[in-house]
Structure 1
Amino acid sequence: MACAASAAVATVGLTVSPASAAPTKSAATQVKPGDVCTAANLGTRRPYVKTTEVTPEITHFKGWYVTQGTTGNHSVTTSTQTTISVSVGLNGNVQGSFAVETLGSVGASLGLNVQVNYTSTSSESNTVNWNFSRPGYYGVYKGTKKVTGTYGSLNCNRVQQGDGGWALKWIEGPGSGSFTTYTTLEEGAVRCEDSVPANSIMAKAKGLLDCGSPAAKAKHPAGAVAPTAKQTQDRLLHRKAPTSGSSAQRPKAPGRTAQADLSCQAGVYKIDVPGKPLNWSAPALANDGIRLRQSNWTSAHLDNWRLCNVTDNNGVLEATLWNWGNGRCAAIPANIANQEQAYLTSATCAEDDLQRFYIYRDVPGSSKIGVQNKHTGSMLGYDRYADGELIRQYSSGRQDGSGTFTLTGV
């Protein structure tokens, strides 16, 4: 029979608050490739979970021997076995609403409460307070379920139907990657003779015990037991293995090159807010950002744009946006490109993915579009509709439709 002290498990450590728990939206309501979208979704981006794997992990462990007469409450200082950090993609962090929504989708699809904000399990020694009711050799532990997998990115775009007609649907766009998160931490104690559920955190802890003969265990004095060879090896392996946020895996910011030789289409456009008088206007000053301004607010053509070096990939346009007024190209500044709500500005035109944009279009006959930066994967929109408001990037776009614009020929 399992010892009463080891049969119970307590949840401790990181408290799952409403901000860090998986959303209650069921997996059935998650957006999937091929689902129908609307013109308001052109400026948005949604994640979908491709694969998931759930594995028990022991974050802290200590072998502990309880002799006759030493039962009762013990404070056991455990050693770090492994550290788990929450991450989405290769930046070793959780940046923006898209990353949070990705992890929320993971939790919903698995029915688990998982961490959806950047955090990590402790890398320091941790104390477990436990009531040992029987003598024996115990593995005292803290652990969690580590959740890993891959995700994709969906964008709304027009798709031609089999009958020749068109419809707006969610299609797979750029931005796939991997994620790591974990469930609430548990702590407990387990003995070699205890029966435990397969593939559980407790079973993982039991596997770290040196379950030799009882006679050999009886030679141990009460208290801490030296780590076994397997425990030591596991710790070394975990410490050597790079995490998803290691510097070796972090993408480098794209470098700028000499002035690009652009091949621009003949058309000139305004990028308007549908049904409103404000549109994108490039800054007159180099250090300013692209803003919503009244049409014809200036005679310098700062609100006129041309599409350059255009390619078409399965109906999605990729282009550099060249401004007629200042002769510069729309760009996300490299020094703030990793930030949610980084502003859009203009820079000397160069072969640089920070200056390349995907344009998602409504069905033919409509000029509504959504715009996405190629390097960051973020959609472009604005915080509020007002003269002088900066155009900014949002990793998931603006869910109120304020990321849908109109490409209007002039």
Structure 2
Amino acid sequence: MAVTATAAAWAIAAVGLAASPAAAAPADTTAPQPGDTCTVADLGTRHPYIKTTEVSPEITHFKGWFVTQGTTGNQSVTTSTQTTISVSVGLNGTVQGSFGTEALGKVSASLGLNVQVNYTSTSSESSTVTWNFAQPGYYGVYKGTKKVTGTYGSLNCNRVQQGDGGWALNWIEGPGSGGFTTYTTLEEGAVRCQDAVPANSIMAKAKVLLDCGSPTAKAEHPAGAVAPTAKQTQDRPAQDPAPTGGVTSAGQLKAAGDSSRAVALNCEPGAYRMDVPGKILNWSAPLLANDGIRLRESTFFSAHLDNWRLCNVTENNGVLEASLWNWGNGGCATIPAGIANQEQAYLTTVNCGEDDLQRFYIYRDVPGSSKVGVQNKYTGSMLGYDRYADGELIRQYSSGRQDGTGTFTMTGV
């Protein structure tokens, strides 16, 4: 973007406001907080909450530029890439689904900054800045932003015992957490060694890169580019390739369902159907390879494909963790590794192994009710379905299904 500075604009740039970001969105006062009440429909959903944040100025493009008397005025300067910042939430190196977008929206509201809430990245290519150089001097011409990083946790709905011995459904801190990276609106400008700039501003970071030395030495350069100083070269990080946002290969994620080796499971007695509450359809394991777990009706000919056992069960703060072993085909439920980073990846079964993609958290309604929500341990996504229909695949959704279609009934058989 070309920018031409008038005298007034130069005064603004001198205090680090070459381009001001837009106002941040107001905080969402309806977002659940730990300890708030939830409903049965929330068992299959989750929401992010922000645990830590850090804001730091970053220079994405930079060039040292010397302006002599008689060469002032508008000049176009081609800057070189200093660093590339990519927006990401969690393990995918991108932003997948509504959970990531909601998390970054909460970052924006909590900090009062307008941050990127969808996958994007700063340019890895050289970039031109057009600036009106009003006075001779040694300048740092730059593009930059405020990089925002931090960690988030997951709020899940689960039963909690009250002080009087009763039970209620509350939003709790669910297992697992992750990190995020985003950035604010890009700014561009030019700064001289003698300019006074606000501490911890983007312009101040550019002035550090300028590495102001002897004015006499700088004056030896003709008008135009100045070679990078040792300070600039030292501070320039190795450029990370921008994520493609495509499917992560199985080698980049934990391998799931290694068919070469099955493991023995310690399964609890009895089996369950994973029913749609008040409906006739339930989870049914596939008979064919490469097919997924689908909603089907239980019949005499189901051959136990709709019966599931809980294996290697542990419990932490009222949340069950288990592998789901199918009585009909002898496989364990899993999210396929090759598509595990995708929103709406389907659930299937493979040979049972020691793999977090085959482990699930089960959030339960109050005692006396068999309603549950199910979450994959590795991806953090909740399980549900797009519509109630025979043959519909069970899929993962980063925030769950907000219409209640992620709540199931774990019915003993």
Same fold (TM over 0.5): yes
Q: What is the Cα-based RMSD across aligned positions, in Å?
A: 2.8
Alignment pair present for 1:270 and 2:273: yes
Q: 1:350 to 1:89 in 2, by over 3 A?
A: same
Structure 2 unaligned blocks of 5 or more: 1-6
Query: Is the Cα contact below 8 Å between 1:91 and 1:250 reproduced in 2?
Result: no
Alignment pair present for 1:200 and 2:205: no
Q: How does 1:74-85 map to 2 (within 5 A)?
A: 74-85=75-86
Query: Is the Cα contact below 8 Å between 1:3 and 1:134 reproduced in 2?
Result: no
Deviation per residue, 1:179-215 (Å, 9 max, x gap): 1110111100111222222211112112222333444
Deviation per residue, 1:4-62 (Å, 9 max, x gap): 536335549xx99xxxx97x351544433222221111111211111101111111111
Query: Is the Cα contact below 8 Å between 2:284 and 2:294 reproduced in 1?
Result: yes
User: What letter corresponds to residue 134 of structure 1 in structure 2?
Assistant: Q
User: What letter corresponds to residue 213 of structure 2 in structure 1?
Assistant: G
Report the CA distance between 1:272 and its aligned residue: 1.0
Alignment pair present for 1:324 and 2:327: yes
User: What letter corresponds to residue 42 of structure 1 in structure 2?
Assistant: L
Deviation per residue, 1:326-352 (Å, 9 max, x gap): 232222222222221111112223333
User: What letter corresponds to residue 5 of structure 1 in structure 2?
Assistant: W
2-side partners of 1:80 and 1:193: how far apart?
Answer: 24
Query: Is the Cα contact below 8 Å between 2:121 and 2:242 reproduced in 1?
Result: no
Query: Is the Cα contact below 8 Å between 1:6 and 1:190 reproduced in 2?
Result: no
Question: What stretches of structure 1 move > 6 A for 4+ residues in a row?
Answer: 240-247
Compute the TM-score of the two structures, normalised by the length of structure 2: 0.89
Identity over aligned residues, as a percent?
79
Q: Per the alignment, in what secondary structure is the counterpart of residue 288 of structure 2? A: coil
Query: Is the Cα contact below 8 Å between 1:6 and 1:191 reproduced in 2?
Result: no
Query: Is the Cα contact below 8 Å between 2:84 and 2:239 reproduced in 1?
Result: no
User: What letter corresponds to residue 255 of structure 2 in structure 1?
Assistant: A
Report the CA distance between 1:282 and its aligned residue: 1.4
Q: 1:192 to 1:6 in 2, by over 3 A?
A: farther
Residue 338 of structure 2 corresponds to 335
Query: Is the Cα contact below 8 Å between 2:84 and 2:242 reproduced in 1?
Result: no
Compute the TM-score of the two structures, normalised by the length of structure 1: 0.89
Deviation per residue, 1:206-251 (Å, 9 max, x gap): 222233344443333111112222111101xx1189999999x965
1-side partners of 2:176 and 2:300: how far apart?
Answer: 37
Alignment pair present for 1:93 and 2:94: yes
Residue 226 of structure 2 corresponds to 225
2-side partners of 1:377 and 1:399: how far apart?
Answer: 16
Residue 66 of structure 2 corresponds to 65
Report the CA distance between 1:116 and its aligned residue: 1.8
Residue 210 of structure 1 corresponds to 211
Residue 137 of structure 2 corresponds to 136
1:372 aligned residue (358, 371, 375): 375
Residue 400 of structure 1 corresponds to 403
1-side partners of 2:27 and 2:123: how far apart?
Answer: 31
Q: Per the alignment, in what secondary structure is the counterpart of residue 131 of structure 1? A: strand
Structure 1 unaligned blocks of 5 or more: none
When structure 1 is superposed on structure 2, of 44-53 and 325-334 the one drifting more is: 325-334
Q: 1:359 to 1:25 in 2, by over 3 A?
A: farther
User: What letter corresponds to residue 53 of structure 2 in structure 1?
Assistant: T
Deviation per residue, 1:358-401 (Å, 9 max, x gap): 11001111111001112222110001111111001111111111
